[in-house]
Chain A
Amino acid sequence: MQKVFERPKSLTDKPFHYCPGCGHGIVHRMIAEAIDELKLAERTIVISPVGCSVFAYWYFATDNIQAAHGRAPAVATGLKRANPESIVISYQGDGDLASSGTAEIIHAAARGENFTVVFINNAIYGMTGGQMAPTTLVGQASATSPYGRDPKFAGHPLHVSEMLATLKAPRYIERTALNNVANLARTKRAIKKALDLQQKGEGFTFVEVLAMCPTNWGVDPSEAVDWLESSLMPEYPLGVYRDAAPGEVK
């Protein structure tokens, strides 16, 4: 009998520890598929961040390294500069990348470092228990914005893809979402494109993925998809923010 669906080789057989309806497992699988399809497994190093995906290394059957909160793009810089033949993937959430690690992500992008960042934006801190993130929406309730994020005191959410797209060095920046089959396919394509560009040495690639966090949003998995569509997507428009040679003004 022909097998039509199987686990990617770059994914271990350890069951995901993520909550029902969480986006991490979906994106882990897409990354593993892209690694396999591009035959990059033997050269890949995945960086596990601080956050719910701190144990991403349990799931990638590649080489892995765990990085301090926010520092993954600096660690990626060291890995890639030490071994330019390697394929380096920095996997980060919004608290990690858009708060603690803003300096690291902006400067890695500005240097045009030749690695790939997969940025999971679910507008909340997951592992620490649902606190307000830099990407939390105005009015969104969280453990530390119980009355909803008030822009008078907590400002407005950070739009990372848009910010990075103001730089000349990045090669490719796209924002996708996990809300439906079409967007899942787009997400996978974006990740694969980013890794392919990295493999060709073309420069900094960045895929922001709007993802569900039902547990900390306080909704069930299906309502989480609805909320992602009705609230997150209007604030964070999907699309390609940059697809140009480094240095080119776009």
Chain B
Amino acid sequence: MKGNEALSEAAIRAGATLYFGYPITPQNEVAEYMSRRLPTIPGGAYIQAETEVAAINMVYGAVATGRRALTTSSSPGISLMAEGISYLAGSELPAVVVNIMRGGPGLGNINPEQADYFQAVKGGGHGSYRLIVLAPSSVQEMADLTVLAFSLADRYRNPVMVVADGNLGQMMEPVELAERYPSEVDHASWALTGAKERPGRTITSIYLDADEMEAYIRRLYAKYDEVERNEVRFEEYLTEDADAVLVAYGIVSRVVRSAVEELRARGIKAGMVRLITLWPFPKAVLKGLAERVRFFLVCEMSMGQMVEDVQLAVNGQRPVYFYGRSGGNVPTPAEIVAEVAKRV
């Protein structure tokens, strides 16, 4: 299956039988898959929105009823969704947004990049909020992390973003899927299902009073603290004895894995931390490794947007270097091997 199809089918099996989206390359396979499948499912609907702005607001309406819904887009489209994502976070609604990242800024190109890290992890929209951000690195994870995204969105009543790239979207690999991934969370206490045998309820994000607004924001941040405590996910690869630790996520982590193997074959003790959650960021593992490794090398398909988060975690204890490519160029194992080898 293609990565984009795997995430689509996983979403459907997670009960997200409502899809709202707008065509943009390189994520069109999702919309095409959904437009084939959803009309055949009872209660399912594929809606081609007039804009990404509308698509994210359709999601806002749909998830307010307690149902699962999906929207997907690519970088410029995600920029248009920023307002709606802020509203979803501000109204504490569980939503899943997938960004199949492409080159930017501006219209950029349709090649794979990872240059929306800041947008996904640091905000994107206005106001005091956080997104949970998941980064798959295989077609299997395109499916698995989509399912996890729905589960985390439900648990924390917060939007979750899955960030992948055109490579992962188009790549074909075998995938195992369960028959169904039902929600473990009951939304009956807040969902808009009609004021039947209960008073009317409201979903909103407006608090005119300064103290009330502050109390609300503090409550959101208490929730984000809980997410940071419970939901950090990463994979360590050959870090036990490593002198050099490479930090990567998504498609780049597969290249880095090959580079680590090549370095090991040359007798250089390299390892990798692969991020699965970009937020919450795996600070503790990097801080721990900083006690014993010689240096870190952050590898990205961007100009180094994740570097400062690694630096913050390492807190000056060890050098943090960067190697990245941009514009749709994927770093090669040989390039990464050379970057490490010249520093050993």
Contacts and interface: CB of A to CB of B under 8 A. Distances in A.
Judge: A and B partners, yes or no: yes
Interface of A: 41-45, 48, 54-55, 57, 60-68, 71, 74-83, 86, 103-104, 106-107, 111
Nearest to A54: B206
Interface stretch (B100-108, B197-205, B240-248): B197-205
Contacts of B194: 42-45, 62-63, 86
A82 B18 contact: yes
B203 A74 contact: no
A64 B203 contact: yes
A61 B54 contact: no
Given A78-B59, A81-B18, A103 B51 contact: yes
B313 interface: no
A104 B56 CA distance: 12
A19 to B, nearest CB: 17
Nearest to B55: A74
B47 interface: yes
B61 A74 contact: yes
A16 B40 CA distance: 46
Contacts of A42: 194-196
Given A55-B206, A65-B64, A78-B57, 7 more contacts: A63-B200, A65-B203, A66-B205, A75-B60, A77-B47, A86-B65, A106-B50
Nearest to B66: A82
A191 B225 CA distance: 47
A49 to B, nearest CB: 12
B205 A82 contact: no
Contacts of A75: 57-58, 60-61, 64
Contacts of B62: 78-79, 81-82
B261 interface: no
A68 B87 contact: yes
A82 B202 CA distance: 17
B84 A68 contact: yes
B202 A63 contact: yes
B20 interface: yes
A78 B20 contact: yes
B285 interface: no
Interface residues of B, number: 38
Contacts of A44: 194-195
B69 interface: yes
Which 3 A/B pairs are nearest by Cβ-Cβ distance? A78-B61, A74-B57, A78-B62
B134 interface: no
B54 A63 contact: no
Q: Is the interface of A mostly helix, strand, loop or mixed?
A: helix
Given A41-B195, A78-B59, A81-B18, A71 B84 contact: yes
Nearest to B196: A42
A62 B204 CA distance: 14
Contact of B60 (A61, A67, A103): A67
B67 interface: yes
Given A78-B69, A81-B62, A82-B69, A57 B204 contact: yes
B34 to A, nearest CB: 13
Given A78-B60, A78-B64, A62 B195 contact: yes
A41 B196 CA distance: 8
Contacts of A77: 20, 47, 54, 58, 61
A41 B87 CA distance: 26
Nearest to A102: B50
A64 B200 CA distance: 7
Contacts of A63: 192-195, 200-202
B303 interface: no
B1 interface: no
Contacts of B199: 61
17 contacts: A42-B196, A44-B195, A63-B195, A64-B202, A64-B203, A66-B203, A68-B57, A75-B57, A75-B58, A75-B61, A77-B54, A78-B18, A78-B58, A78-B69, A81-B47, A82-B18, A103-B50
Contacts of A66: 91, 202-206
A83 B196 CA distance: 15
Nearest to A57: B202
A87 to B, nearest CB: 8
Contact of A74 (B54, B65, B91, B200): B54
